Amino acid sequence: MKNFILIVLLLPMLGLGQAKKKKAAPKKATSEAHHGGMQGLPPEIERTLKIKLAVIQHFVSQPGDKGEELFWQTKGKLTFGIVNYTEEQNPKFKELFIAQYKTMYQEYILMLSQGDVKATNRFMQLLIKQELEYRNLLTPEQLKKYQEAFVTMEATNKSMYDSYLGLFFSDTLLAEYQKGFR
């Protein structure tokens, strides 16, 4: 199952598995709007921002409510494998991920339509906020597991690390994004 999730996350980056367009489909993440916000960024932020936008584009391009469903299920399954949510936490994280998708979807469309640095910064600040919201719901033990998983992935499996960065942040990357997108 984990391999399937990783493949799903990597498909948009390879240009494969594109679904039918949703309603008024947003511009591709590689549009001028997207690139306008990346000028002058440190290489690691630029690299991971492209990954994040490709993954988000994959969810946003799904028909109907399929993007929302795939988003919360993917985030839930990926992180459950690391932190092992309790029965009480499961509905809270599902609710969080659905709310995050709805907000992210609106801001993503706005960012693409406005096509400027300000909109990109606002969108990235939203992703940072969502990461912090997620971390705040974890117990101290779960947060430690989550943080250690990123350190391990970065050292031993760079492709898996990059796949997780499509939806989440390592501590190092979170600090860089917080500094770069104020």
| Within a domain: 35 | no
pLDDT given at position 4: 38
pLDDT given at position 40: 73
Per-residue pLDDT tens over the stretch 53-100: 999 999 999 998 999 999 999 999 999 999 999 999 999 999 999 999
Q: What is the pTM of this model?
A: 0.78
Per-residue pLDDT tens over the stretch 120-151: 899 999 999 999 999 999 999 999 999 999 99
| Within a domain: 15 | no
Q: Are 20 and 58 in contact (CB under 8 A)?
A: no
The residue segments making up the domain with residue 64 are 2-6+47-180
Residue 173's nearest CA partner among 11, 40, 46 is 46
| Within a domain: 51 | yes
**How many whole angstroms separate alpha carbon 29 and alpha carbon 47?**
13
| Within a domain: 72 | yes
| Within a domain: 126 | yes
| Within a domain: 147 | yes
- Whether the per-residue pLDDT at 29 is higher than 50: the answer is no
Q: Where are the alpha helices (DSSP H) in 41-157?
A: 43-60, 66-83, 89-114, 117-137, 140-156
Domains held by the chain: number: 1
- Whether the per-residue pLDDT at 22 is higher than 60: the answer is no
| Within a domain: 153 | yes
- Whether the per-residue pLDDT at 178 is higher than 90: the answer is yes
